[in-house]
Amino acid sequence: MNHDRAMNGPTADWEFLLWDTDPAHPPLPVPPWLRLRAAARTAGALRVLRRHGWPRAQDRLRDLRPAARPSRAGTPLDPRDAVRLARREVLPCLTVLRLVAPDALCLPRAFAVATYLSTLGLPAEVVVARQRSSIGGRFAFHAWAELYDEVLGDVPAVRAGFTVLQRVGATRLRAEAP
């Protein structure tokens, strides 16, 4: 690939910066209208989380209907392709999070990622966990998003020190997941 052309062309081709590029299987494109819908739903869901708390927010995620179903030539995406697509969409999602809730910690971040990806038709889940060892008699809690057992928007090794307490995802998508 000619990196000069990629950076100086009419539209910068930034794909070469990603670690999972595979020219034989280009990522599925996400239409702008779908990104906009996912961003709007994510912003609304974050407002629900802030105003009404986690119980109402998780109900909203469970009941979420995807705006589209990602597929390649009419067949559902392979989990590896779905994870590649999800990794590319984490940045737009976190941009929405930064605009709506600039001081958000792990639960809003995981909730935003799961809502955004579920709107795109990917069966992402919020994972809520408790630290395995206590510090001064207190346990720490953490949340992250997962898609097909891959951690998104957090350090992949995060699972090592935590015991999962809850997994929440869009019910319609989990029933259809391979």
Give the model confidence (pLDDT) of 22-43 as tens digits: 666 667 888 999 999 999 999 9
Q: Which residue has the tokens 């000619």?
A: 2
Task: Identify whether 21 is part of a domain.
Answer: no
Give the model confidence (pLDDT) of 62-104 as tens digits: 999 998 877 765 677 888 888 888 998 999 999 999 999 999 9
Give the model confidence (pLDDT) of 104-138 as tens digits: 999 999 999 999 999 999 999 999 999 888 776 66
From residue 139, how far is each of 50, 55, 107, 135, 162 by CA, in Å? 23, 21, 16, 6, 10
Task: Identify whether 8 is part of a domain.
Answer: no
Task: Identify whether 39 is part of a domain.
Answer: yes
What's the total number of domains in the chain? 1
Task: Identify whether 24 is part of a domain.
Answer: no
Cβ neighbour number for residue 60 with a 10 Å cutoff: 18
Residue 156 clears pLDDT 70, i.e. is over it: yes
Least Cα distance to 98 among 88, 85, 112 occurs for 112
Separation of alpha carbons 71 and 121, rounded Å: 9
Separation of alpha carbons 37 and 39, rounded Å: 5
pTM for this prediction: 0.83
Task: Identify whether 100 is part of a domain.
Answer: yes
Range of the domain at 60: 29-176
From residue 115, how far is each of 98, 126, 129, 135 by CA, in Å? 15, 9, 19, 32
Residue 6 clears pLDDT 50, i.e. is over it: no
